[in-house]
Chains A and B, each alone.
Chain A
Amino acid sequence: MHGPIEIPTTDQVTVTGLSKPALIGLGVGIAGLAATAALGASAGDDMLHFGHSMLVAIVFFLLISLGALFFTLLQHVTSAGWSVVVRRVAEAMTAAFPILGLLVLGVLVVPVLMGKPWIYDWADSAFVGAHELVQHKAGYLNAKFFLVRVIAYFAVWIGVSRFFSSQSLAQDVDQDKARTLKMQGRSGISMIAFGLTLTFAMFDFMMSLNAEWFSTMYGVYMFAGAFWSSLATLALLTMWLEKRGQLKGVVTSEHYHDIGKLMFAFTVFWSYVAFSQFMLYWYADIPEETHWFNYRIWGDWNGFALLLLVGHFAIPLLGLMSRHVKRNRSVLAAWAVYCLVFHFVDLYWNVMPEMVNGVAGGDPATTGPQFDLMDLTAMIGVGGLFAFAILKRIDGKPALAIGDPRLPESMAFQNI
């Protein structure tokens, strides 16, 4: 082999000079949100499009953080060695939970508390009164319980991500192996909590857009997209830190190969889950279940559905198959961007048809996609705040889990 592994010093891997970019991110984020609010108010549709654009943007970035949290938990649960060099980056991606929590409270929860159906029809008591099926769900879909659940989700996510991040950072200083054992020990129950909170959060934020519809697979479907997009983000952030110098010589093409393998695996997994959800409803052909797909597959959304089939499944399946793609940084980066774009397409396809059709709408798919500048400014707004949170977290801290006992194994890692 190549001789002893040289662990870099703390100074070599500590990130510096990000306070200004973080503030720029904050500024861009606030400006984006303000622009979205202004556009939303002037659209004259009672903030309907504003609410839905913001929902897509918030869930997009929330799922990235959740996927990163899952990645961290997964590495501890499996006592993984290969991933130690990138785990700090994944931990940093979970720094956005507090700010996303504020966004969720402000944009998703407050209108519900006010009884305004900007996003969720069931927030309006008149709507609930007119729909018997929704009345039966009122014990779950009501403003107070919704608020309690949102607080619970973020408490769990912030609590768990803080625990693992703080233990890992403390380990940088004292190299205490007991911390690794502690993290491994806690990772199991954290994983269960993660699964439950993500599932119900997606039921609340995304599935309840159409209060009369339900799908038991919805949580898994959203999880698949979450992990897929967070792996793409992980690859891009790691490449950026490598370029900046903090992870130079530490992360090798072997690690990108493994991240790429997971991206490939979850392309197939997302497709499997999405198709299973679709096929079961298609086969049973029960109108109470099929109307959700009816909106999204026929009429003007037909093109979107085909785009998703080809672009989210077929193309990445073939594109990410080759090991040479996964071992080449620039090609993998291009695919990572591609994955993020198509995850956005997926969320857009889930959310936007409800804006114009919904439960109260009559004709399925009478209106197709209505792209608006708001869709873009919402992404910029939430994205800016997301970037601010992450940059602020990694500024001044090591980009590498220096104290992890498995670091040498990770640095020496070689794929077969």
Chain B
Amino acid sequence: MSDQKKHDEIHGIVAYFDDVDSVMSAARKVRDAGYKKWDTYTPFPVHGIDEAMGTKPTILPWIVLGMGLTGMACGLLLQWYTNAYDYVFLISGKPDWSLPANIPVTFEVVILFSAYTAFFAMLGLNKLPHLSNPLHKLPKFSRVTADRFAICVEAKDPNFDAGRVRAILGAETSELEDCPVDTSRAALPLWFHAVMALVTCATFIPLSLAVKGRFATSEKPRYHVWPDMDFQRKRKSQTGWEGFEDGRSMRLPVEGTIPRGELRDDFELYFGVAQGAPVPPHVTFDGGAMGGDNFQWLSSFPTAVVVDDAFLERGRERYGIYCGVCHGAQGNGLGAVALRAAAIDAEQWGWVSPKALQSDSAKAYTNGELFHIASNGISSMKGYGSQITPKDRWAIVAFVRAIQASQALEAAPADLPDGTDFEPVPTIKDVRLSEASVDAPAAGSEPAGEAR
């Protein structure tokens, strides 16, 4: 009963020691006795005290690790979302999402999260800030910050027994005292309230300035803290500059400049002419002999490509994507676009039917000329050089040759195996056209079936 009263009255029992060894020895005894709510107070960190007190290793490192990894995820997510997803931001030609560029910010966010967590979690795990401690009311206790050591076993401990605690601690030291519970009410001085009220009002000032800046207008120009940062001498693209004659700040590259990696040094591959021969211009010829005798068109394939089954298959695939819509899947000029144009008499508006690739004039073209046509177009066909890579264009040329050798023939080829089905496939001339275009005169002596 009297012990119960004592529990209500005291915060704990405090013992004072004069040196490290005795406080450590006492701590071990308290640890071994099984108390959990107690602490040791020393003026400097004592090595080995954690072991003497039976303190469990803290979980703080794991919390910091978790928050550090969270920081990494947040840093990456922030950059990905703002620069690569929500508003894709092209910076210096770098890829939208490029790890080397994003690492510095990610690293800093990891540090931020880890450091803040370490600090605040440490405070939290130590239950700080702890605004008052009954021990501070004891006069003798203040020497703990100078030259004495203390142990306080708190009454809140489930195993607390005042007599037993006194016996354990009393074995190591004679200086024991009870620490009473702090019942005083700490009244803050009046000036403190006044200052806090003032400070709280002052914290509204930045917010109101921001709101004012957002919604109010001003006659005065904006203030520049760093004028040479805001008004840089460099010229941005699409601006003007009086320093150049034409008043523009952008300049064209020097004549003959070749972008890195775009040296077209393989004439056969890139132009379809012999290496070292004159390079045909990047123009759409009108048809017929392409540039006359000026160019040494390749009649074979460039050495950079290997014409095998895979190559032909690639050509078939690419032809199907790019060429078949006009020239037809079998190269007879009966592609969907051509059929539609024929149905609506587009020739009256200048439509030129796509050539039947198996026609004699198409067969008369060399490989190089076919390549040039695929790259730059011919008469009203536009070129596909910007859409198809050079090797793929050669694959298409190879496939066209395959068409010419096998499709839409008007007569069975001599070496066709016996028993193979053969039927001449209709060309555009067989498609029913309106009277208007049927009567349109074909200039010169064009053979029937030729579309120009």
A contact set with B: CB distance below 8 Å:
1, 275, 278-279, 282-283, 285, 287, 321, 412, 414, 416
Q: Is B45 in contact with chain A by the CB < 8 A criterion?
A: yes
On chain B, the residues within 8 Å of A287 by CB distance are: 260
- If A285-B92, A416-B45 touch, whether A1 touches B100 (CB-CB below 8 Å) is no
Shortest CB distance A285–B (Å): 7
Complex Cα gap A308–B93 (Å): 27
On chain A, the residues within 8 Å of B24 by CB distance are: 1
Q: Is the CB of B103 within 8 A of A1?
A: no
Q: Is the CB of A283 within 8 A of B94?
A: yes
Q: Is B20 in contact with chain A by the CB < 8 A criterion?
A: yes
Q: Is the CB of B48 within 8 A of A279?
A: no
Nearest B residue to A2 via CB reads B48
Proximity string of chain B (54-82) to chain A, C-beta cutoff 8 Å, 1 when within and 0 when not: 00000000000100000000000000000
Which residue among B45, B92, B100 has the maximum number of chain A CB atoms within 10 Å of its CB? B100
Nearest A residue to B57 via CB reads A323
Complex Cα gap A321–B48 (Å): 22
Q: Is the CB of B92 within 8 A of A1?
A: no
Q: Is the CB of B104 within 8 A of A279?
A: yes
Q: Is the CB of A283 within 8 A of B100?
A: yes
Q: Is the CB of B48 within 8 A of A414?
A: yes
Count of B residues near A, CB < 8 Å?
Answer: 16
Q: Which of B424-445 contact A (CB under 8 A)?
A: none
Q: Is B127 in contact with chain A by the CB < 8 A criterion?
A: no
Q: Is the CB of B48 within 8 A of A278?
A: no
Q: Is the CB of A278 within 8 A of B20?
A: no
Q: Is B21 in contact with chain A by the CB < 8 A criterion?
A: yes
Shortest CB distance A280–B (Å): 9
If A278-B100, A416-B47 are given as contacts, then 18 extra A-B residue pairs at C-beta distance below 8 Å, sorted by A number, are A1-B20, A1-B21, A1-B24, A1-B47, A275-B100, A275-B103, A279-B100, A279-B101, A279-B104, A282-B101, A283-B94, A283-B101, A285-B92, A285-B93, A287-B260, A321-B65, A412-B47, A414-B48
Q: Which of B256-306 contact A (CB under 8 A)?
A: 260
Proximity string of chain B (85-123) to chain A, C-beta cutoff 8 Å, 1 when within and 0 when not: 000000011100000110110000000000000000000
Shortest CB distance B65–A (Å): 8
Complex Cα gap A283–B101 (Å): 7
Nearest B residue to A283 via CB reads B101
Complex Cα gap A412–B100 (Å): 45
Nearest A residue to B51 via CB reads A414
- If A283-B92, A287-B260 touch, whether A1 touches B101 (CB-CB below 8 Å) is no
On chain A, the residues within 8 Å of B94 by CB distance are: 283
On chain B, the residues within 8 Å of A416 by CB distance are: 45, 47, 50
Shortest CB distance B98–A (Å): 8
Which residue among A278, A412, A414 has the maximum number of chain B CB atoms within 10 Å of its CB? A414
Nearest B residue to A275 via CB reads B103
On chain A, the residues within 8 Å of B92 by CB distance are: 283, 285
Which residue among A1, A282, A321 has the maximum number of chain B CB atoms within 10 Å of its CB? A1
On chain B, the residues within 8 Å of A282 by CB distance are: 100-101
Shortest CB distance A390–B (Å): 33
Complex Cα gap A282–B20 (Å): 57
Complex Cα gap A321–B260 (Å): 45
On chain A, the residues within 8 Å of B65 by CB distance are: 321
On chain A, the residues within 8 Å of B21 by CB distance are: 1
- If A1-B24, A287-B260 touch, whether A279 touches B45 (CB-CB below 8 Å) is no
Q: Is the CB of B260 within 8 A of A279?
A: no
Complex Cα gap A363–B104 (Å): 31
Shortest CB distance A384–B (Å): 41
Complex Cα gap A268–B47 (Å): 28
